[in-house]
Every structure is written in C-alpha cells, then in structure tokens.
Amino acid sequence: MKKQPNINFGAAILFLIFSLLFFVLLFRFISIQITGEADGQVLAAKAQQKYEREKTIEARRGTIYDRNGEVIAEDTVSYKLVAILDESMKPGYVKDPDKTAKKLSKAIDLEESEIYRILTKKTKDGKTPFQVEFGKAGRDLPLKTKREIEEMKLPGITFITDSKRFYPNGVFASHLIGYVEKKKTETNRTDTVGMLGLEQSLNEILTGKDGKFSYESDIWGYLLPNGDEMIKPAQNGKDVYLTIDKKIQTFLEDSMNKVDEEYKPKKMVAVVADAKTGDILAMGQRPSFHPKTKEGIEDTWHNEVIENSYEPGSTMKIFTLAAAIEEGVFDPNEWFKSGSYKVTENSKAVRDHNQGRGWGPITYLEGVQRSSNVAFAKIVKEKLGYETYREYVTKFGFDDPTGIDLPNETGGNIVYEWPLEKVTTGFGQGSAITPIQQIQAATAIANEGKMMQPHVISKIVDSDKKEVVKETKPEVKANPISAETAKKTRDILETVVSSENGTGYKRYNIEGYEVAGKTGTAQIPDPKGGGYLTGHENFIFSFLGMAPKDDPELIIYVAVQQPDIDLSTNGAEPVSKIFTPVMKSSLQYLNIEPSKKLKIKSEQTPEVEGLTIEEAKAELEKFGFEAIVLGKGNKVERQVPGNMYNLLEGERVILKTDGELTVPDMNGWSLRDVMKVAKLANLKLNTVGNGYVVKQNLKAGAALSEGDYLIVELEPPAQKYNEVETEEGQEETEEVLD
C-alpha cells in the first residue's frame, strides 16, 4: 500500500511525457501536411529527386559529305572493351586472368603480358578494382573484333557501346577536313571535339545539343506504370556538304602517293578548282596524316595551301602577262635581248634561268615560252611601269587573304619598295603568296576575266528538319582583266605546253585536250640567312594550268619542294606526274569532250623493228601513232601491230625492246591494247568485265617474266572512275548496317 502512491506518481510522469511526444509528433505531422516542407526542404521535390530518373539522349555529330553526297566523315557505332574483376559479380567476372590474357592478345593490339598486368592490377590500397579498361587498344573496336571476342566466351569480358568518328577514305584532304578527339569535361562527361581543319572551325555547327529522357521509377529503378515521363529530343549536329569531289580528290591522292614514294620531296601541295565557280574540287599535301590513327600529324599541323606563303616563281608570270595584254603593251612579235638585264646602274642584274646566257635576241612570245626573267623584268619596268603593275597585283588579289571558308588563312607579302624588288615581283621572286591566292587569280584567266571567290563549303543542312540553313553561291570577287585579254593570255600560255621552246613542252600535254599553263621554279631562302639555297634539287617546282584551253573547266596548281632528283632529272617531272594524270582523269570523269583528236596520217603502221627507241617513237609520232615502250632496252625487237596493219583511232603501238621487260600502266586502255602486251610478253591473260582497264594485278614498272599471269578489271566508260571501297570502309559499313 505504501508503494502505490509512488507507482501512481511514476505512471503519471510517463503519461505526461508520452502525451507531450504525441502532441509534438501530431503538430509536426500537421505542419508538414500543410506546408509540404521539412527542415526547409520541399518534400515533394526530394521524393521526385529520389524516384525520378534521367537519361541523356546524345546528339549525333553532323556528317561531312562531298559535293555528290559521298560520306567523308561521320559518326558510327564502336565498342569499348572492359573486364569485370570484382568477385562479387559471380559468375560474370574474370576468373582466369592467364587464359583471358592469352586469348585477348589474339584479338586486340596488346601484348599478352600487358593484358595480364591489367587484369591483375590492384588499387593504391591493395584492393581489386571493380572493372578495368585496356587503353587505346580496347577503344573504338569494330563490330568484327567485338564478335570475335564474344565467340571466345570469356567470363567477365564485356563491351560498352560508344560512337566514334569514321573517315572512310583514310588519308583524304586530311588537313582540310581535320580530325576529332574525345575530351573529358568538368562534369566528367566525354565530348567529341574537333581539333583541326573544318572539324575544328565548324565544331559548334557539327556538335549539336544533347536531349534528355526523364521518368518516375520505383526504388529499384523500374518505370512506374502511371509515372510522369518527359522527353526532350536531341538536336543533332548539322550536316556539311563540301565542294570537294571524292573521285577527283582520289585521283589527286593517288598521284601524290606515287610521286611521294618515287621522289621523296620535302613538301607537296596540289589544288584542283572549278574554273567557272571557284569551287575547290580537291586539295592535298604531303606530308599528310591519317585522321583516325593520327599517323603523320607530327610532321605538319598546317594546311600548306592556305597557311603558307612563299615565292611563287614563274607561275606569277601568268598575271604579269595578262596585265601587259590588258594594258595593250604586249607585242608577241617584238624582239628583245635575253640573258641579263640591269634595272638600275647600281642594282644586281636580272638573269635568265640558264645562268644568264639567255638565247640571244628573241621575241617576247618566245620569252614567255622559255620563261625568260629578262622579258618580264622589261615588261614591268618598260612596258607597264611600276605603279600600273602594282595596281594589277592588287586587282589579282595578292595583297589580302582570299577569304576561303577554311580556318587560319594567311595572306601574301608583296615586297615592292626598290626598283629591283618591283621587277622581281613580276617574275615571282622576292614577294610571297599562297597557293590558294594563285588559284583565285587564275580563275580570272580561265573565266573570261571574272575572278571567283574560292569555296570549300557548298551548303549546311539541318539534318533534323531537312532544311538548308546556309548555301554558297558562285561569287565574282573582281574583274581584273577583260574576257578578250583572258582569251589572249590562254592562247599564249598554251604555247608554253605545245611549243618546242616551251618549258612545259610534252610533259603537260594531254591527248585530245589543249592545256594552257605556266611552269615555275622558285628559289628557297636559306634558313641560315644570306640568300637562297643552292643545288639542283633545292627549289620549289610548280605548274599552274587550266584545260580545255578555249573554255577551261578545271584549274590545277601543283608544287613540289626539294624532290630527290639527280642532275639528269628535270624538276618538272614529279610535278607533271601529278598534274597530267589528275587533269586527264578529271576531264574524262566530268565527261568534258576532247577539243581535238589525234588524227592518224597513215592507213598502215610504219615498220620500226630494228630501230632505236627514239627513232621508232619519232617515226610513229610522225604518222600520228602513240607508241608504248615495253622494257628498258635501246632497240625495238618487235612491234604489235606490225606493218601493213590498219589501226583504229586511239589504238596503241606496243614496242618490245631488247632489254628487261617492264609492266606498263594500262589504266584506261582497251582490251585490244592489253592483248598486244600479253602477246608480246607471252603472258597469261585473264579479264574481268568489259570496257576499259580500271585495275591491273601487275604493278606498273615491275619486271615482267614470260608466263606471268596478267589480270585486268574492265568497266564501261560510264563506270570507269567509280571508286572501289576500302576494306576498312566495307568493315565499317557492315558495322552500321548490323
């Protein structure tokens, strides 16, 4: 009984405490219900944050196409190889690192020992990481490699789907197109960023904007049946169409590769332009690089066509000649004394390129053909006058960058203060200009006096809306000369190629087409100072030409710096081995009708067996026949067809020499001509298709042995220049289609 009052008192205390707690909780519950907040945070937002999921919808980088819609650069699916090492992921972890390394080394470019090291690596605190990657060797894997690894059924080896930039043509206008790299941002995401060329300058246009997909889920991440969903579509990057023509670019790359292999020059640049619009159809240089592997990128980061100015040499004489014709001061039949010429009493004499010997008294027409420096020095000083000529230098656009739609273009540097500097500018020395400036100026000569703005971008298309957001139209930049002057200039420049006196004689002749152009041999300043480099090969050899002469469709500029040539080899040879085949193939591909055809002057083939090669070729050419020499000998042992044989127009006469036989380049030949080679060399001939040769199994210039198999692939004229896809391109196509 005595304890009862204490018990009652304790119970009352507990009742009061629990009542107080109840009322506190009730108040808290009611206040949360009314305000929707707890600790200053909105509970609905916190719940949404906990149960709402968001996924990024990645934007596709825009595709770069050529003028005909052929892909030059695009995003494609790729795969990244990863290995799960955490044992808690049983059975999907790497159980046997030794076996896994051995098998993986057969599929990826990584040594077995290095793969084993990656699979057994530990973190700094000695723990096994959850997963590991394999660096560059495990990234950007094609579908073929992924399938090969999957067939190995290696536990713990899996893939992450990714995208990569695919360049199906390999080394292909690489400095113009550029390349991309993947870089991590501050938010720890990986973005594709353009690093050079158009990929860099158009990066914002090509990149696009990511979208997102938001949805409500349960605690395990599953989509709630009646949950809210929100989709913000990605804005894909815009597609860019270039003026570049894939086939013409391929002609150019192939020719440059051959010259690079044979002559190993320090540098080469080449540009093909549409004479009527200023559109750049092809642009290449050496050294170049592969945009996927970056091999060669360390040799030069610059687009030499637009970022490097140098003394042009005698190609500058084209514009000096045009200025003189426009001013009415050029008389092709007027005589002058060649050799050397002093501009002032105290100045250094201007000398012709044959050590100042000259050719005695010659006409100005012959002076152009022979590329006489004296002729052009006299034209600038005595015919045009310094001030007038300087105005034409400006009119032809040599003071300023062209404004081509490429990044980092530089302008020329016209040195025009002293009398000697003024006349040397007239024949391409002392002042520096860029190749693209020469192309721009040449459009005035080719296009009836209208100088066209050069472009490489044709149009930009919104790939989502299928709308053209920007389109480039042909733009006349200036009219430095009249149409009549342009025609007269081309007529004279054609004799540089067709006349025996011309510096471009024979090398730049193209059967069926008249070519107008000018050779150039520019000196290279000595980097140590004090003048120019000396030596037979220490020049920039070039040619700027257009065809067909009467109505030019194409302009091509080629420059080859310091090729590996001996004293018996003219520096024009490597240049012509780019210009001539590219111009010929491009004109044929564009279906430009020949302006003239070689006419056979005899109904029967002349007998040339027993003659020397030179005598035989001269005899055949006299009657309008094209001779193909088979071998390295000096005398003709046999000819096919023989005499008393009627040839078809365009048919070739094959001459077998008394020396080692070599394989001719039969690209573009008819089957009839191929059969002559097979007959003379006693080869086993197999053919595929009909029409004209587009591929041969025996490499041109290689030694021939009796009984060799000669396999040629032929196509009809309409398909003759279709490009064959590379193995890499085929593989990637499979990947995209999968």
Q: Which residues are catalytic?
A: 314
Angle between the N-to-C axes of helices 97-104 and 112-119, in degrees from 0 to 180, rounded to the nearest 10: 140
Long-range contacts at 589-592 (CB < 8 A, ≥ 24 apart): 589/247, 589/248, 589/251, 589/720, 589/721, 590/553, 590/554, 592/513, 592/548, 592/553
How, if at all, do strands 235-236 and 239-242 pair?
A: unpaired
Residues 89/131, Cβ–Cβ less than 8 Å: no
Tokens of 378: 């006299």
In a 3-state reduction of DSSP, which class is residue 328? coil
CA distance 720 to 366: 40
Q: Smallest Cα–Cα separation from 172: which of 279, 65, 273?
A: 65
Q: Residue 408 burial (CB < 10 Å; 0-12/13-18/19+)?
A: middle
CA distance 540 to 529: 18
CA distance 163 to 80: 10
Angle between the N-to-C axes of helices 246-263 and 572-589, in degrees from 0 to 180, rounded to the nearest 10: 160
Length of the chain: 738
Residues 689/720, Cβ–Cβ less than 8 Å: no
Q: In the 8-state DSSP scheme, what is residue 88?
A: G
Q: CA torsion sign, 128 to 129 to 135 to 139?
A: positive
In sequence order, the β-bridge partners of residue 478 are 451
**580: part of which helix (H) or strand (E)?**
helix 572-589
Q: Smallest Cα–Cα separation from 267: which of 227, 322, 229, 310?
A: 310
| Cis omega (within 30 of 0) for bond into 641 | yes
> Which amino acid is present at 61?
R
DSSP structure string for 294-308: -TTTTT--S-HHHH-
Tokens 């111009």 appear where?
A: 583
**441: part of which helix (H) or strand (E)?**
helix 435-446
In a 3-state reduction of DSSP, which class is residue 513? strand
* Cα 183 to chain centroid, rounded: 25
| Cis omega (within 30 of 0) for bond into 435 | no
**What string of H, E and C letters represents the secondary structure of 32-65?**
HHHHCEECCEEHHHHHHHHHEEEEEECCCCCCEE
For 130, 642, 666, the CA distances from 248, given in Å and listed in that order, are 51, 38, 19
CA distance 276 to 395: 18
> Which amino acid is present at 667?
N
Tokens 């069926």 appear where?
A: 512
**What string of H, E and C letters represents the secondary structure of 383-396?**
HHCHHHHHHHHHHC
